[in-house]
Amino acid sequence: MSHTTRPRESSGPRRKGGLLARVSLGSRFQAIPLEFVLLASTALILTAFGAVMVLSATSVESIGAGGGPYDGAVKHGVFIVIGVPLMFVLSRFPVGFFRKVAWLALILGLALQMLVFTPLGYETGGNRNWIRVAGYTMQPAEFLKLAFVVWLGVILYRKRGLLTNWKHVFVPIVPVSALVIGSVLAGKDLGTGMILFLIMLAALFFSGVKLRLFVIPMLMSIVAVVGLAVASPNRMGRIMSFLNEDCNYYDECYQSTHGIWALAEGGIFGLGLGNSKQKYGWLPAAADDYIFAIVGEELGLIGCAVVLVMFGLYAFAAFRIVRRTSDQFVRVVAATMTIWIVGQALINIGVVIGVFPVLGVPLPFLSSGGTSLLAVLLGTGVLMSLARSLPPIERGIGSGESQRTRSAAR
Protein backbone atom coordinates (compact mmCIF):
# COMPACT_ATOMS: atom_id res chain seq x y z
CA MET A 1 0.00 0.00 0.00
CA SER A 2 1.54 3.23 -1.14
CA HIS A 3 1.10 6.51 0.55
CA THR A 4 1.33 9.73 -1.39
CA THR A 5 2.02 13.03 0.27
CA ARG A 6 -0.05 15.84 -1.03
CA PRO A 7 1.67 19.23 -1.17
CA ARG A 8 0.42 21.90 1.19
CA GLU A 9 -1.66 24.61 -0.28
CA SER A 10 -0.57 28.13 0.53
CA SER A 11 -3.10 30.36 2.20
CA GLY A 12 -2.18 33.35 0.02
CA PRO A 13 -1.47 33.86 -3.66
CA ARG A 14 1.78 32.37 -4.95
CA ARG A 15 4.34 34.88 -6.21
CA LYS A 16 6.92 34.29 -8.87
CA GLY A 17 10.34 33.70 -7.35
CA GLY A 18 9.11 32.24 -4.06
CA LEU A 19 7.35 33.51 -1.04
CA LEU A 20 8.58 36.93 0.07
CA ALA A 21 8.71 37.18 3.86
CA ARG A 22 8.92 40.60 5.32
CA VAL A 23 9.39 41.72 8.90
CA SER A 24 8.64 45.30 9.87
CA LEU A 25 10.92 46.48 12.65
CA GLY A 26 9.50 49.98 12.96
CA SER A 27 11.02 53.39 12.58
CA ARG A 28 13.61 52.85 15.32
CA PHE A 29 15.43 50.32 13.16
CA GLN A 30 15.38 52.29 9.93
CA ALA A 31 18.69 53.18 8.36
CA ILE A 32 20.07 56.51 9.58
CA PRO A 33 20.02 59.08 6.75
CA LEU A 34 23.37 60.10 5.32
CA GLU A 35 22.51 63.73 6.01
CA PHE A 36 22.06 62.97 9.72
CA VAL A 37 25.42 61.20 9.93
CA LEU A 38 27.28 63.97 8.10
CA LEU A 39 25.75 66.73 10.21
CA ALA A 40 26.46 64.93 13.48
CA SER A 41 30.03 63.94 12.56
CA THR A 42 31.10 67.33 11.18
CA ALA A 43 29.56 69.13 14.17
CA LEU A 44 31.39 66.85 16.62
CA ILE A 45 34.71 67.14 14.75
CA LEU A 46 34.49 70.94 14.59
CA THR A 47 33.49 71.14 18.27
CA ALA A 48 36.39 68.92 19.35
CA PHE A 49 38.77 70.84 17.10
CA GLY A 50 37.51 74.10 18.61
CA ALA A 51 38.03 72.81 22.15
CA VAL A 52 41.69 72.07 21.38
CA MET A 53 42.23 75.47 19.80
CA VAL A 54 40.49 77.29 22.66
CA LEU A 55 42.78 75.49 25.11
CA SER A 56 45.80 76.59 23.11
CA ALA A 57 44.61 80.19 22.67
CA THR A 58 43.49 80.79 26.27
CA SER A 59 46.20 79.03 28.26
CA VAL A 60 48.64 81.97 28.21
CA GLU A 61 45.95 84.51 29.08
CA SER A 62 44.64 82.31 31.91
CA ILE A 63 48.11 81.98 33.44
CA GLY A 64 48.67 85.73 33.06
CA ALA A 65 45.46 86.39 34.97
CA GLY A 66 46.70 84.30 37.88
CA GLY A 67 44.73 81.14 37.09
CA GLY A 68 45.57 77.75 35.70
CA PRO A 69 46.31 77.03 32.02
CA TYR A 70 43.06 75.08 31.64
CA ASP A 71 40.64 77.65 33.10
CA GLY A 72 39.43 79.01 29.76
CA ALA A 73 39.17 75.55 28.23
CA VAL A 74 37.20 74.23 31.22
CA LYS A 75 34.62 77.02 30.91
CA HIS A 76 34.32 76.27 27.21
CA GLY A 77 34.09 72.55 27.93
CA VAL A 78 31.10 73.04 30.23
CA PHE A 79 29.05 74.26 27.28
CA ILE A 80 30.26 71.34 25.15
CA VAL A 81 29.09 68.90 27.82
CA ILE A 82 25.69 70.63 27.88
CA GLY A 83 25.34 71.34 24.16
CA VAL A 84 26.28 68.02 22.55
CA PRO A 85 23.70 65.91 24.45
CA LEU A 86 21.07 68.60 23.84
CA MET A 87 21.90 68.45 20.13
CA PHE A 88 21.11 64.73 20.01
CA VAL A 89 18.02 65.11 22.19
CA LEU A 90 16.69 67.83 19.89
CA SER A 91 17.38 65.63 16.88
CA ARG A 92 14.77 63.15 18.20
CA PHE A 93 11.95 65.71 18.23
CA PRO A 94 9.42 65.49 15.37
CA VAL A 95 9.25 68.31 12.84
CA GLY A 96 5.78 69.27 14.05
CA PHE A 97 7.20 70.19 17.47
CA PHE A 98 9.25 73.04 16.00
CA ARG A 99 6.20 74.39 14.19
CA LYS A 100 4.25 74.48 17.43
CA VAL A 101 6.88 76.25 19.54
CA ALA A 102 8.10 78.78 16.95
CA TRP A 103 6.16 81.78 18.28
CA LEU A 104 6.96 80.92 21.91
CA ALA A 105 10.67 80.53 21.08
CA LEU A 106 10.76 83.91 19.34
CA ILE A 107 9.00 85.68 22.22
CA LEU A 108 11.40 84.11 24.75
CA GLY A 109 14.36 85.02 22.54
CA LEU A 110 13.24 88.65 22.37
CA ALA A 111 12.60 88.75 26.11
CA LEU A 112 16.10 87.40 26.73
CA GLN A 113 17.56 89.98 24.35
CA MET A 114 15.82 92.79 26.24
CA LEU A 115 17.81 91.83 29.35
CA VAL A 116 20.89 93.52 27.86
CA PHE A 117 19.20 96.86 28.57
CA THR A 118 18.67 95.99 32.26
CA PRO A 119 21.26 96.07 35.07
CA LEU A 120 22.23 92.52 34.01
CA GLY A 121 23.54 93.85 30.70
CA TYR A 122 26.99 95.28 30.17
CA GLU A 123 28.98 96.84 27.36
CA THR A 124 32.17 95.54 25.77
CA GLY A 125 33.94 96.68 22.64
CA GLY A 126 31.37 99.43 22.13
CA ASN A 127 28.48 96.90 21.99
CA ARG A 128 25.83 96.38 24.66
CA ASN A 129 24.63 92.91 23.76
CA TRP A 130 25.84 90.88 26.72
CA ILE A 131 24.49 89.91 30.11
CA ARG A 132 26.35 88.54 33.12
CA VAL A 133 24.70 85.92 35.35
CA ALA A 134 26.44 84.06 38.21
CA GLY A 135 29.88 84.92 36.84
CA TYR A 136 29.09 83.67 33.32
CA THR A 137 28.66 85.99 30.38
CA MET A 138 25.99 85.35 27.79
CA GLN A 139 25.00 86.86 24.42
CA PRO A 140 21.21 86.43 24.07
CA ALA A 141 21.29 87.36 20.38
CA GLU A 142 22.77 83.93 19.59
CA PHE A 143 19.60 82.19 20.80
CA LEU A 144 17.53 84.84 19.03
CA LYS A 145 19.12 83.77 15.73
CA LEU A 146 17.93 80.19 16.24
CA ALA A 147 14.40 81.21 17.22
CA PHE A 148 14.24 83.64 14.29
CA VAL A 149 15.14 80.90 11.79
CA VAL A 150 12.41 78.54 13.01
CA TRP A 151 9.83 81.34 13.23
CA LEU A 152 10.50 82.44 9.63
CA GLY A 153 10.13 78.82 8.49
CA VAL A 154 6.72 78.52 10.17
CA ILE A 155 5.36 81.80 8.78
CA LEU A 156 6.53 81.10 5.23
CA TYR A 157 5.18 77.54 5.46
CA ARG A 158 1.72 78.77 6.47
CA LYS A 159 1.73 81.42 3.71
CA ARG A 160 3.21 79.14 1.04
CA GLY A 161 0.29 79.68 -1.35
CA LEU A 162 0.12 83.45 -0.83
CA LEU A 163 3.72 84.55 -1.33
CA THR A 164 3.05 86.11 -4.75
CA ASN A 165 1.14 88.87 -2.93
CA TRP A 166 3.51 91.42 -1.38
CA LYS A 167 1.11 92.11 1.50
CA HIS A 168 1.40 88.52 2.74
CA VAL A 169 5.17 88.70 2.45
CA PHE A 170 5.26 92.01 4.32
CA VAL A 171 2.99 91.02 7.24
CA PRO A 172 4.11 89.82 9.72
CA ILE A 173 7.63 89.16 8.46
CA VAL A 174 8.88 92.73 7.98
CA PRO A 175 7.53 94.24 11.24
CA VAL A 176 8.69 91.30 13.37
CA SER A 177 12.06 91.17 11.59
CA ALA A 178 12.50 94.89 12.19
CA LEU A 179 11.80 94.30 15.89
CA VAL A 180 14.27 91.40 16.09
CA ILE A 181 17.05 93.14 14.18
CA GLY A 182 16.34 96.48 15.88
CA SER A 183 16.67 94.93 19.34
CA VAL A 184 20.23 93.92 18.44
CA LEU A 185 21.14 97.14 16.64
CA ALA A 186 19.93 99.09 19.69
CA GLY A 187 22.90 97.54 21.47
CA LYS A 188 25.17 98.74 18.62
CA ASP A 189 26.05 95.21 17.49
CA LEU A 190 26.18 95.73 13.74
CA GLY A 191 27.79 92.35 12.97
CA THR A 192 25.02 90.32 14.64
CA GLY A 193 22.39 92.59 13.10
CA MET A 194 23.80 91.85 9.63
CA ILE A 195 23.67 88.10 10.31
CA LEU A 196 20.00 88.39 11.34
CA PHE A 197 19.25 90.34 8.18
CA LEU A 198 21.04 87.66 6.13
CA ILE A 199 18.83 85.05 7.83
CA MET A 200 15.69 86.94 6.79
CA LEU A 201 16.83 87.27 3.16
CA ALA A 202 17.76 83.58 3.00
CA ALA A 203 14.35 82.51 4.31
CA LEU A 204 12.54 84.68 1.74
CA PHE A 205 14.76 83.44 -1.09
CA PHE A 206 14.35 79.72 -0.36
CA SER A 207 10.61 80.08 0.14
CA GLY A 208 10.28 81.19 -3.48
CA VAL A 209 9.48 84.87 -2.94
CA LYS A 210 9.99 86.89 -6.13
CA LEU A 211 13.26 88.78 -6.26
CA ARG A 212 11.61 92.16 -6.87
CA LEU A 213 10.18 91.99 -3.35
CA PHE A 214 13.74 92.05 -1.98
CA VAL A 215 14.28 95.64 -3.11
CA ILE A 216 12.64 97.33 -0.10
CA PRO A 217 14.44 95.19 2.55
CA MET A 218 17.76 95.76 0.77
CA LEU A 219 17.28 99.54 0.70
CA MET A 220 16.26 99.54 4.37
CA SER A 221 19.36 97.56 5.30
CA ILE A 222 21.71 99.86 3.38
CA VAL A 223 20.23 102.93 5.08
CA ALA A 224 20.51 101.24 8.50
CA VAL A 225 24.15 100.17 7.97
CA VAL A 226 25.22 103.61 6.75
CA GLY A 227 23.40 105.29 9.64
CA LEU A 228 24.96 103.03 12.27
CA ALA A 229 28.42 103.41 10.75
CA VAL A 230 28.25 107.20 10.75
CA ALA A 231 26.81 107.31 14.28
CA SER A 232 29.71 105.32 15.77
CA PRO A 233 33.25 106.75 15.49
CA ASN A 234 34.72 103.37 16.50
CA ARG A 235 32.77 101.50 13.83
CA MET A 236 33.46 104.16 11.21
CA GLY A 237 37.16 103.96 12.01
CA ARG A 238 37.20 100.20 11.46
CA ILE A 239 35.43 100.52 8.12
CA MET A 240 37.71 103.30 6.94
CA SER A 241 40.80 101.38 8.07
CA PHE A 242 39.67 98.47 5.92
CA LEU A 243 39.54 100.79 2.90
CA ASN A 244 42.74 102.65 3.78
CA GLU A 245 46.04 100.84 3.27
CA ASP A 246 47.90 103.45 5.34
CA CYS A 247 45.70 103.21 8.43
CA ASN A 248 47.09 103.65 11.94
CA TYR A 249 48.75 100.40 13.02
CA TYR A 250 48.42 101.24 16.73
CA ASP A 251 44.69 101.94 16.50
CA GLU A 252 42.22 100.65 13.89
CA CYS A 253 44.59 98.27 12.09
CA TYR A 254 46.22 96.63 15.09
CA GLN A 255 44.03 93.54 15.37
CA SER A 256 43.58 92.88 11.65
CA THR A 257 47.32 93.31 11.02
CA HIS A 258 48.29 90.81 13.71
CA GLY A 259 45.68 88.38 12.35
CA ILE A 260 47.36 88.50 8.94
CA TRP A 261 50.79 88.12 10.54
CA ALA A 262 49.60 85.03 12.39
CA LEU A 263 48.43 83.41 9.14
CA ALA A 264 51.68 84.39 7.39
CA GLU A 265 53.87 82.92 10.13
CA GLY A 266 52.00 79.63 9.99
CA GLY A 267 52.79 79.00 6.33
CA ILE A 268 51.74 75.60 5.02
CA PHE A 269 52.45 73.35 8.01
CA GLY A 270 52.22 75.81 10.92
CA LEU A 271 54.43 76.41 13.93
CA GLY A 272 52.97 73.45 15.80
CA LEU A 273 50.04 73.10 18.16
CA GLY A 274 50.49 75.42 21.14
CA ASN A 275 53.37 77.37 19.55
CA SER A 276 51.51 80.52 18.51
CA LYS A 277 53.39 83.77 19.13
CA GLN A 278 50.47 86.13 18.55
CA LYS A 279 48.46 84.74 21.48
CA TYR A 280 51.07 86.19 23.88
CA GLY A 281 49.14 89.44 24.16
CA TRP A 282 49.67 90.53 20.55
CA LEU A 283 46.36 89.47 19.02
CA PRO A 284 43.19 90.69 20.76
CA ALA A 285 40.27 88.22 20.74
CA ALA A 286 42.68 85.39 19.89
CA ALA A 287 40.28 82.78 21.30
CA ASP A 288 37.13 84.52 20.11
CA ASP A 289 36.62 86.25 16.77
CA TYR A 290 40.22 85.65 15.63
CA ILE A 291 40.65 82.00 16.53
CA PHE A 292 40.99 81.14 12.84
CA ALA A 293 44.23 83.17 12.83
CA ILE A 294 45.55 80.97 15.66
CA VAL A 295 44.54 77.88 13.66
CA GLY A 296 46.52 79.20 10.69
CA GLU A 297 49.54 80.10 12.80
CA GLU A 298 49.78 76.81 14.68
CA LEU A 299 48.48 74.34 12.09
CA GLY A 300 49.19 76.25 8.90
CA LEU A 301 47.32 76.15 5.62
CA ILE A 302 46.57 72.45 6.20
CA GLY A 303 44.73 73.17 9.45
CA CYS A 304 42.74 75.99 7.82
CA ALA A 305 41.85 73.68 4.91
CA VAL A 306 40.55 71.03 7.32
CA VAL A 307 38.23 73.59 8.92
CA LEU A 308 36.95 74.72 5.52
CA VAL A 309 36.38 71.12 4.38
CA MET A 310 34.37 70.38 7.53
CA PHE A 311 32.14 73.41 6.94
CA GLY A 312 31.82 72.35 3.31
CA LEU A 313 30.62 68.88 4.32
CA TYR A 314 28.23 70.45 6.81
CA ALA A 315 26.73 72.63 4.06
CA PHE A 316 26.60 69.66 1.67
CA ALA A 317 24.59 67.59 4.15
CA ALA A 318 22.20 70.44 4.95
CA PHE A 319 21.54 71.28 1.31
CA ARG A 320 20.86 67.63 0.58
CA ILE A 321 17.94 68.02 2.99
CA VAL A 322 16.78 71.07 1.00
CA ARG A 323 17.01 69.15 -2.27
CA ARG A 324 15.29 65.97 -1.10
CA THR A 325 12.39 67.32 0.93
CA SER A 326 8.97 68.28 -0.39
CA ASP A 327 8.02 70.06 2.84
CA GLN A 328 8.19 73.85 2.60
CA PHE A 329 8.92 74.24 6.31
CA VAL A 330 11.80 71.75 6.22
CA ARG A 331 13.26 73.36 3.09
CA VAL A 332 13.19 76.93 4.43
CA VAL A 333 14.50 76.08 7.91
CA ALA A 334 17.27 73.78 6.63
CA ALA A 335 18.48 76.30 4.06
CA THR A 336 18.24 79.30 6.39
CA MET A 337 19.96 77.48 9.26
CA THR A 338 22.81 76.60 6.90
CA ILE A 339 23.12 80.17 5.63
CA TRP A 340 23.32 81.34 9.24
CA ILE A 341 25.95 78.86 10.44
CA VAL A 342 28.10 78.42 7.33
CA GLY A 343 27.56 82.01 6.18
CA GLN A 344 28.69 83.35 9.56
CA ALA A 345 31.74 81.09 9.38
CA LEU A 346 32.67 82.49 5.97
CA ILE A 347 32.18 86.06 7.19
CA ASN A 348 34.38 85.41 10.23
CA ILE A 349 37.10 83.85 8.08
CA GLY A 350 36.77 86.71 5.59
CA VAL A 351 37.39 89.20 8.41
CA VAL A 352 40.50 87.33 9.55
CA ILE A 353 42.04 87.15 6.06
CA GLY A 354 41.20 90.80 5.37
CA VAL A 355 38.36 90.42 2.87
CA PHE A 356 35.84 92.17 5.17
CA PRO A 357 36.20 94.87 7.83
CA VAL A 358 36.18 93.80 11.47
CA LEU A 359 32.54 92.90 12.28
CA GLY A 360 32.80 91.04 15.57
CA VAL A 361 31.06 87.75 14.75
CA PRO A 362 32.34 84.45 16.22
CA LEU A 363 33.44 81.42 14.22
CA PRO A 364 30.73 78.75 14.77
CA PHE A 365 31.83 75.66 16.73
CA LEU A 366 35.39 76.99 17.19
CA SER A 367 35.31 80.40 18.90
CA SER A 368 35.41 80.59 22.66
CA GLY A 369 32.02 81.64 24.00
CA GLY A 370 29.47 79.27 25.39
CA THR A 371 26.37 81.05 24.10
CA SER A 372 27.46 80.90 20.47
CA LEU A 373 28.53 77.27 20.75
CA LEU A 374 25.33 76.22 22.49
CA ALA A 375 23.11 78.00 19.94
CA VAL A 376 24.96 76.45 16.99
CA LEU A 377 24.76 72.95 18.51
CA LEU A 378 21.02 73.38 19.10
CA GLY A 379 20.63 74.59 15.51
CA THR A 380 22.46 71.50 14.31
CA GLY A 381 20.09 69.37 16.41
CA VAL A 382 17.17 70.95 14.55
CA LEU A 383 18.85 70.16 11.22
CA MET A 384 19.39 66.55 12.31
CA SER A 385 15.70 66.30 13.20
CA LEU A 386 14.80 67.59 9.73
CA ALA A 387 17.14 65.00 8.20
CA ARG A 388 15.28 62.22 10.01
CA SER A 389 12.03 63.38 8.38
CA LEU A 390 13.31 62.67 4.87
CA PRO A 391 11.77 59.77 2.90
CA PRO A 392 14.04 56.77 2.26
CA ILE A 393 15.92 56.76 -1.03
CA GLU A 394 14.51 54.22 -3.53
CA ARG A 395 17.05 51.58 -4.50
CA GLY A 396 15.64 48.92 -6.81
CA ILE A 397 12.46 48.32 -4.85
CA GLY A 398 9.20 47.09 -6.27
CA SER A 399 6.49 49.26 -7.71
CA GLY A 400 4.28 48.87 -4.61
CA GLU A 401 7.08 49.97 -2.29
CA SER A 402 7.98 52.77 -4.69
CA GLN A 403 4.42 54.05 -4.60
CA ARG A 404 4.37 54.01 -0.79
CA THR A 405 7.65 55.94 -0.68
CA ARG A 406 6.33 58.56 -3.06
CA SER A 407 3.17 58.89 -1.01
CA ALA A 408 5.18 59.36 2.19
CA ALA A 409 7.27 62.01 0.49
CA ARG A 410 4.17 63.90 -0.53
313 and 98 Cβ atoms separated by less than 8 Å? no
Could you report the per-residue pLDDT of 245-280, keeping only the tens digit for each?
677 777 778 888 999 999 999 999 999 999 999 999
Q: How far is CA 214 from CA 5, 178, 201, in A?
A: 80, 15, 8
Residues 373-402 have a mean pLDDT of 80
- What is the per-residue pLDDT across 297-336, written as a single tens digit (0 to 9) for each? 999 999 999 999 999 999 999 999 999 999 999 999 999 9
Q: For 193, how many CA atoms within 13 A lie in the half-sphere containing its CB?
A: 22
Band (pLDDT 50/70/90 cuts) for residue 405 is very low
Write the pLDDT tens digit of every residue in 183-224: 998 888 888 999 999 999 999 999 988 877 777 777 777 777
* CA 115/CA 329 separation, integer angstroms: 30
Q: Please give the pLDDT value at position 123.
A: 87
Q: How far apart are the first and last CA of the chain?
A: 64
The pLDDT-based confidence of 242 (bands split at 50, 70, 90) is low
Say whether pLDDT at 8 is over 50.
Answer: no
For residues 65-98, one letter each, b for 16 or more C-beta atoms within 10 angstroms of the residue's C-beta and e for the rest, the string is eeeeeebbbebbeebbeebbeebeebbeeebeeb
d(CA 295, CA 300): 7
- Tens-place pLDDT, residues 72-118: 999 999 999 999 999 999 999 999 999 999 999 999 999 999 999 99
Per-residue pLDDT of 108-152, as tens digits, reads: 999 999 999 999 998 887 788 999 987 778 999 999 999 999 999
